[in-house]
Chains A and B, each alone.
Chain A
Amino acid sequence: MDSSQAYGYFLYFVSLMTMGGIYAIMSLGLNIQWGFTGLFNVGIAGFFAIGAYVAALLTTAESAYHLGGFGLPVAVGLIAAMAVTGVISWLVGLLCIRLRSDYLAIATIGIGEIFRLILKNEIWATNGARGISKIPLPFETLAEPWNKICFMLLVLGIVTLLYFMIERARLAPWGRLMTAIRENEHSARAAGKNVERFRIEAFIFGSVLMGLAGGLTAHYMKFIGPGATEPLTTTFLVWVMLIAGGSGNNRGAILGAFLMWAIWSFSEVLTGRLPPELAIKAAYFRIFLIGLLLQVVLQRYAGGILPERRLASVIPDHGTSK
């Protein structure tokens, strides 16, 4: 192995850690919604897209092709991405949060679809199918490996920070209340808790993280278009990551994200070496296998790699029996 090859592997590792970290943020967000509170969100791609577009529109230089291009700093863009996603998810929550999980799942699919339609059709604001390009990448002025390394460290730093925040929230009364709502909504209500308000809180908290991940992806890719929010690659991968890693367990959510992203990315590299006509089919075969993996985990290892560990749980093996 010569040095340029090793350098290539190193860059691949950096990109793996960066995207894995971005998915870990989404996986943590879904863990708050589904793992803690039992909210069934299948519209992850929609919240991801909102965050991505808000960050992109605020930070790009002025452009005739889409709304704005305000040239604001990246940090402002990311905070705005989280704020807008938060407000929209609050509105969605007001409408849908009282619905039982099945209905909430259907409703979030609809919301994701409507976001996609808006992004595709409101060409004056989003440049339609051609998307927004030239999104600034933080640390862009640094030399070649260092800009990528710095961005990776930024993402991993955010993941670490979020982990400690969410873990703290889980151990706090807030987290226990979320578990109570998930396990038995009626008894939580009987104990005098405002179930609707707390469910909306969890929904917003999780969605904001998905928006943040969207913003980070927009900067990392330097481009965002409706194709980037294809429901499959985002929503489904995040679900598989959380379920495989261990729903309800923050460390599991992070581990699942890095692991599944590594598998997803390696298999892409492998199938990329096939002849073109086979490579296209192999791409769908990968999705088939990911689906199958989800089924195996659900049936055989329901708790995931790191099952949930509940505070003061009377049933020690709760995570595996769920």
Chain B
Amino acid sequence: MKDLIKQALDNGISRRKLMKGLGAAGLGATAVKTLADTLTPATARAADAGPVSATRTITAQGGTLFTQQLKDAGVEFMFANPSTGDGPIYDSLVNEPGIQLIKGIQEGAVVAMADGYARLSGKTGVCGIANVGLPNGMTQLVNTYKDNIPVLMVVAAFGTDVAGRDYAQDYDHQEPMMSPITKWFWMAESTQGIPDVTRRALKFAATPPSGPVFLSIPDNLLKAEATAAIMDQKRFTVSMKVRPDHADVMTLAKMLIEAKNPIMTVGDEVTMGQAEKDVLELAELLGLTVAGQGGQGNWSKPFPTRHPLFIGGFQSTMRFPGEVDIHLNMGDQGAERPMKGATLISIRSNPTGLARANPVDLGMVSDIRLAARDIIDAVKGMATKERLKQIADDRSARTRDYHASQVKMREMIATDLNSGSEIKMERLAVELEAGLEKDTIYVSDCDSGRTMDPLLSWGGADKTYISTGPNILGWGVAAATGAKLARPNRPVVSCVGDGSMLFGGPQPLWSQARYNAPVTNIVVNNRSYNNERNRIWSFIAGQQFKTGKDMLCYNGSPDVDFAKAAQAFGVEGEVVKDPAQLKPAIARAKKANVDGRPYMLDINVARDGVGAASTWYPAYSIADQRTRKV
């Protein structure tokens, strides 16, 4: 050991080697650390930090340093559109088969593809967009941020040698404008530091509660060459699988066993935590009535909607189950609301969201799956199997009856509305339920179409539903493309309104065509921002309502033929106007998908609501204003 210490003092051997040697000499861990701290100069310890976490050191352009760090972090796809400054990034991929580029042709579509990929893969979606197009990408990044989806957005910024001179596409300090819609943002400060800021960005994006991050790399740093360490990303991966407090769990278990009329609400954090089966097991163990998911900001439906314990959306006051005494909220931001007379216990993986809008009686920060497991174990430890079965049977009888009545109610509605010459959304929903495969991933971006949702089956062994909480339209088709990339062996359907399709444009279809993404794209086309008009007229009840003049929301004149638009972008499709044609049209779409091609169904559905019959709009002819016919 004496030799080892001398060697450390004389030659400055690495801290790691020193500690290993001290350990081998018989010192305990604490003693080793203390001695090493004493013997190792601070500068040497700092220098050690790189090599310890590095998988390799390379000398390359900044663009290569960036993509090699991505590669070592397990990134397989990069969604992108080009800009001049990004050149070194894409140069680096010319001979790099480990990262597949997926090109989009508008920044919003690029971001939404990365977002859809992240939601379905559970991995961080990486997108590189043109610096000048950053605001385009920001529109879709709001969905990503609000729904806590891990995405790394990178741009090649103006070089440090010219930034701030007010060149045509330069504006000062673009990074801070990302602040409200990212977890973290940063500008790389050196070529050598690019791998380090990249691995840091990936860590922030993926660490729960996850979310989008923004990285700006000046283009001169991307072009310059440096020697830098590529990091082992796994060593920066932090587990956030936090268990709930044991005493709280025991208290909660007792309350759930003794409750007279408990309810459990479920939300997106169940999906994010992959806790679907565990939450279902908890519900069945105790016969808990389940509500929530969908609406009120949720983007997923983790609990099987056809399960007899599920009763639909959550409200603070509900006819069924009536007066609740215990409200257990499992990861649903929207359902964390007081119910009169009930004790609210909210378990959230997102500590920022917990008790943010409303008070809770017992708030618990925990991984949702671990919390469900611990509660299950605690409950099983407090009551016999026979007693628990009796409790579950007694409680669930009412819920099962209510659930059955709702199924009957929906069937009655679907039958009643399944007539007439126009296609109603409910009819479309019935045809989709019958025609889509049970393992379909259904990507919904259709505000008016929410009445379709209860007529289809979600969760468990049924279809997977994903949407966005904020409803920033224009997301669906691009997100479905990313979803198909993440889950190529499952059917993927996008269902968007004509409003959403006009926001997002046909650009995502171009990516579907280029990359042979077999996605069925449904446009629920009522030629209107239907719900927007309804809200404007009803909430305000102003002059538009009083005069019947729809100033903005009617999307007809000209009527857009989305099938033709799709064809122009390389995707075949058809317009469907006759209810009888829905079934064969869906079959044709499925056949195209089976053959490896995307398909577009432009389904003309009836408008409904305030002013639905009116096609009036404030007409104006620019041509008529001319005094010279040019």
* A and B interact: no
* Chain A residues within 8 Å of B, Cβ to Cβ: none
* Chain B residues within 8 Å of A, Cβ to Cβ: none
